[in-house]
Amino acid sequence: QVQPVESGGGLVQPGGSLRLSCAASGRPFSHYAVGWFRQAPGKEREFVATISGSGDITYYGDSVKGRFTISRDYAKNTVYLQMNSLNPEDTAVYYCATKWTSSTRVTFSSPSAYNDWGQGTQVTVSS
C-alpha cells in the first residue's frame, strides 16, 4: 500500500507556474503507476496526468497538454507535476493517486483505477 502526500499548491497569478509534489512511501516505487487529478467546486474529478512505474510513459488530459509535465524521482519516491502557463480554469484541488501494477509500463486515466489517494492540495490561479 502506498499513501501519497501532495504538496506545493498555492496562489499564483495567471501565466505563472507551480510544481506539485506527490511523495509516496511504498516499495517498490517502480511498480506504482501514479496519476494526478483535480476537482473544482461543483465539477467532477478531472484527469490531469499519469506516469508509468517505468517513468517513460506519460499521458495528459487535453486541457493541460503542452502546459503540464509529469515526472518521477525514484531516489525520493516522489512524482512531480510541473504546471506552466496557468490560467484561472486550472483552479482546483489537485489529488495524487497511486496504483500497484505488475507491469511497470502501464498508465491509467480513470480515477476508479487507483487504489490510494492523497488528501489534495489547493491550487488557485488569480490576479
Nine-digit cell string for 89: 480554469
Determine how many CB atoms are found less than 10 A away from the CB of residue 87.
12
Q: What is the pLDDT of residues 107-120, one digit of tens each?
A: 999 999 999 999 99
Nine-digit cell string for 36: 494526478
Q: What is the pLDDT of residues 34-46, one digit of tens each?
A: 999 999 999 999 9
Nine-digit cell string for 112: 476508479
Determine how many CB atoms are found less than 10 A away from the CB of residue 29.
21
Q: What is the pLDDT of residues 52-104, one digit of tens each?
A: 999 999 999 999 999 999 999 999 999 999 999 999 999 999 999 999 988 88
Task: Find, among 61, 55, 80, the residue nearest to 69 by Cα.
Answer: 80
Q: What is the pLDDT of residues 1-48, one digit of tens each?
A: 668 999 999 999 999 999 999 998 867 888 999 999 999 999 999 999
d(CA 56, CA 33) in angstroms, rounded, equals 11
